[in-house]
Amino acid sequence: MSSRRRSGKDGLDSPTGAMALRDFIRRLRYGASDACFALFPFVVERKREAAAAKEMRRRAAGKRDPAWRPPAPPVVPPKADGLGIVAFYSDLPSDTAARIEAARPQFVRHVQPVLPLLPLSASVEEEVALATAHGIDTFCFWLRADGELPAALRAILATPDLAIGIAIFFEGPLPAVRADVLDALADPRALRIDGRPMLGASGGGGDQWQAAAAARLGGPLFLVEPFAANADLSAGFSAAVQIPPRDLAPLPTPRRIESVSRAFVGPVDEFMFVADLAQHRARQATVPLFPGICAGHDSTPGQGADARIMVSPDLGDDYARWLTEVLAIARARPVAGASLVFINAWNDWLNGSHLLPDARYGHALLRATASTCAPYAGAIGARRPAAAPVTPRPVRTGSLASVVHGYYEDLLPGLIAGLDPAHLFVTTPPEKAEAVRAVLARAAPAARLRVVENRGRDVRPFLSLLPELEAEGYDLVLKVHTKRSPHQGKEGSDWLQRLSGPLLKLARSERLAPVFEAHPQMGLLGAAGHVLDGALYAGSAGNAAWMRRLAAELGTGAPLTSPYVAGTMFVARLGIFAPLRGASELLDLFDTDMGLKDGTLAHAFERFFGVLAAEAGLSVGEVAADGHVEPVAEVVNGSYAFARSTTEEELDRLRRLGAAR
């Protein structure tokens, strides 16, 4: 008799058992490594130093960090309407460049030195141009009590046409009144809150400063101080400013940290743990507070083996997630009529907190700042007149256009196979045009290729095609796109098939028109199990900000929490897009894609398509893998394999905050 394996939920054949075995082996390996480090420290140190040095040589030879982003000027200057973005500016010591270059990795996979891309000697004009192009309104200059005004501040004051706000923050308590500071605050570009110039310090007597300000400036100052949880404001101060990671205890990362040297004793924090705690404290603050965020933190250049270091798998994406939430907090809780967000910092190279581009992350943080500020920019009508509305052609009932966005050309044949090439529209960016054209020449020569800018992922190309589809009188449109989701791991590998398969099956069997004819109340159709609850799967605050803006621009009144089809693959009645008619300026709002996982205009439109169906008074239906159609989908309001609900995200945050305490 042949033997049989036992399998069950606790057996090694089960996912749980296999994970337990892998975890056990991993802990054994880590334990052995730690024991070797304790017994033979010099041998292990040399081995780890060699590994760290090898990685740095690879980077010096041109290897890019996975989180690196190239420069890409914002398509629309993201001047936030009603929001102010303030970046702290450090007056760097003369040996800063030498200390940056001398920094070395403190643990395996730690990257040091991180070199500036913009020379430290760059002119203030260059810095101001870079800052304002990415949504920074104001530089807040750190100032020592007995130090002279920073050179960059003096240069701005001497150049009246430099369009950047200025503010001053003393590094300690308010010192004796300084005439040069009051003169700087008299500049028309000085940041004013409630009509009063802002001045920051860590407490101290403000009476003398207020008296001097009344005499020199004609009115009082708006005094602010660094935020400390559970602390009242100092006498005479009007608000607090959050300056992460100040006032935040270390929040150790769960990642494996293998020190290069026993001398390294600094904390290694998880960036998003710090972000969660900072946001929590900002929401719970009992004093008037301007929330803040840090642009990373790695004080190795300044502190060496005592450095505090934050780690992140993708700093640009994590920074954007934090900033979009902080913008929402600032908008919801203005102080004296002002909604300000403080970023630590513009150029603090010694503490590794800087928006300025560097050799590791490139322009990631600048671009993330511009992207997250964009939904708060002024209304389209304030920039240019709306385009004349397009007169729709007579609709050919039941006619179907298939729109496929082909970014990954190797996935394209599987999507277009069996679709009517006479009514097939394929969009692709310029860099993919040649490869996609070759695929179409073999598989669908009659298909119409539209080469579009590489902005807005698959959404902007689809929106740009709507006037053409309407002009040709199509009734229905099938929208799918080549999709890879590496951040989803194994689950993401078959997401494309799950989202597109049932829709393509109906299209290839010519059943879509009869289905929509049989269900006149249905406006949008997605794959079963992928129609999500718009409130539970709202995503980041950036999505909500964009959707509020879209609703205001287009004049829609349907709930912004309407159900939507995940992944932006659906069949729709072309009529539901009527509110977009004549609003081609919306295409200008899409920025060059930098790979953010949430909070962009494309993510907002994914949800807003469901709002458009609701605005038309139509339902979102679903089609099962066997072709069965329900005109009103059973909305996913529990767990979903490809996204986390707001409930799950909040539970995770609470667990992390509990661990932090």
Whether residue 245 contacts residue 297, with contact meaning beta carbons closer than 8 Å, is answered with yes
Please give the pLDDT value at position 12: 43
Averaged pLDDT for residues 90-106: 95
Confidence band, pLDDT 50/70/90 cuts, at residue 607: very high
Same domain, 564 and 470: yes
Same domain, 356 and 407: no
Q: Which residue do the tokens 């300026």 mark?
A: 585
Q: Which tokens belong to 481?
A: 């796109």
Q: At what angle do helices 541-554 and 315-332 cross, to 10 degrees?
A: 60
Q: How far apart are the first and last CA of the chain?
A: 58
Residue 169 counted as domain residue: yes
Task: Give, for 323, the enclosing helix (H) or strand (E).
Answer: helix 315-332
Q: Last residue of some domain: 378, 409, 439?
A: 378
Same domain, 310 and 428: no
Same domain, 450 and 492: yes
SS3 335: strand
Please give the pLDDT value at position 382: 44
Separation between Cα atoms, residue 332 and residue 473, nearest integer Å: 44
Same domain, 591 and 623: yes
The C-alpha angle 504, 507, 512, rounded to 5 degrees, equals 125
Residue 175 counted as domain residue: yes
Task: Give, for 199, the enclosing helix (H) or strand (E).
Answer: strand 196-200
Tens-place pLDDT, residues 435-468: 999 999 999 999 999 999 999 999 999 999 999 9
Tell me the CA distances in angstroms from 367 to 77, 343, 379, 380, 423, one per residue in order: 12, 14, 21, 21, 38
Please give the pLDDT value at position 7: 36
DSSP secondary structure string for all residues of 70-87: -----SS---BSS-EEEE
Rounded to an integer, what is the distance from CA 555 to the centroid of its chain? 27
Give me the CATH number covering residue 145: 3.20.20.80
Residue 12 counted as domain residue: no
Residue 260 counted as domain residue: yes
Separation between Cα atoms, residue 521 and residue 192, nearest integer Å: 54
Provide the CB-side half-sphere exposure for 476 (13 A, CA): 24
Same domain, 199 and 271: yes
Q: Is the preceding peptide bond at 66 cis, omega within 30 degrees of 0?
A: no
Residue 161 counted as domain residue: yes
DSSP code at position 169: E
Whether residue 33 contacts residue 258, with contact meaning beta carbons closer than 8 Å, is answered with yes
* 276: alpha, beta or left? (left if phi > 0; alpha if psi -120 to 50): alpha
Tens-place pLDDT, residues 492-518: 558 899 999 999 999 999 999 999 999
Q: What is the 3-state secondary structure (H, E, C) of 202-265?
A: CCCCCHHHHHHHHHHHCCCCEEEEECCCCCCCCCCCCEEECCCCCCCCCCECCCCCCECCCCCC
Please give the pLDDT value at position 520: 97
Q: Which residues contact 617 (CB under 8 A, 6 or more apart)?
A: none
- In this structure, the strands spanning 222-226 and 239-241 are parallel
Please give the pLDDT value at position 19: 55
Model-level pTM? 0.89
Same domain, 49 and 127: no
Answer whether residue 491 shows pLDDT above 60. no
SS3 432: helix
Confidence band, pLDDT 50/70/90 cuts, at residue 11: very low
Looking at every residue in the chain, the average pLDDT score rounds to 89
Separation between Cα atoms, residue 217 and residue 213, nearest integer Å: 5
Separation between Cα atoms, residue 137 and residue 83, nearest integer Å: 9
Of the candidate ranges 254-268, 388-402, 598-612, the one whose mean pLDDT is the lowest: 388-402
Q: Report the percentage of the chain scoring pLDDT > 90.
A: 72
Residue 574 counted as domain residue: yes
Q: How many domains does the chain have?
A: 3
Residue 452 counted as domain residue: yes
Same domain, 50 and 176: no
Tens-place pLDDT, residues 128-156: 999 999 999 999 999 999 999 999 999 99
Same domain, 471 and 405: yes
Same domain, 497 and 556: yes
Confidence band, pLDDT 50/70/90 cuts, at residue 9: very low
User: Residue 114's closest CA among 71, 73, 67, 152?
Assistant: 67
Tell me the CA distances in angstroms from 143 to 89, 167, 353, 406, one per residue in order: 10, 10, 17, 53
Tens-place pLDDT, residues 553-583: 999 999 999 999 999 999 999 999 999 988 8
Same domain, 121 and 31: no
User: Residue 87's closest CA among 132, 135, 149, 139?
Assistant: 139
DSSP secondary structure string for all residues of 562-596: --EEGGG-EEEEGGGGGGGTT-GGGGGGPPBP---
Residue 52 counted as domain residue: yes
Domain containing residue 405: 400-649
Same domain, 205 and 319: yes
Tens-place pLDDT, residues 415-430: 999 999 999 999 999 9
Numbers of helices and strands, H then E, in the chain? 20, 22
Separation between Cα atoms, residue 298 and residue 103, nearest integer Å: 10
SS3 89: strand
